[in-house]
Amino acid sequence: MKIIDNLLEEKQVLEIEQELVKDTFPWFYQNCVTHKDIDNYYFTHMFYRDGEQSRYFNLIIPILKKIKFKKLNLRVKIVRHKRWSGMQVE
């Protein structure tokens, strides 16, 4: 995995963050965490998988425009845990 610092402008980050923290944004409960030092649950939102887009897919378009990928057969999800969060593009 490659970490890219400052991929987006601050304005873009704030726009995405404002949507993710709304009480209407759909987070989905997952009851299994592989790390032993954290609680055994977390929340996800799948933006794209197997050709299916969530209605919030437009939030990640600025990210997709900045990264280079070789095929559209990818999976994009965001993970939210009470101690950490992050986005995965596979």
- Rounded (5°) CA angle 42-12-90: 45
* 68 within a domain of the structure (yes/no): yes
* 59 within a domain of the structure (yes/no): yes
* 4 within a domain of the structure (yes/no): no
Q: In tens digits, what is the pLDDT along the chain, a chain of 90 residues?
A: 677 788 899 999 899 989 988 989 998 887 776 666 556 677 888 888 888 889 999 998 888 888 876 665 566 667 666 655 555 444
Question: Domain span at residue 49?
Answer: 10-89
* 1 within a domain of the structure (yes/no): no
* 26 within a domain of the structure (yes/no): yes
Predicted structure pTM score: 0.70
Count of the separate structural domains present in the chain: 1
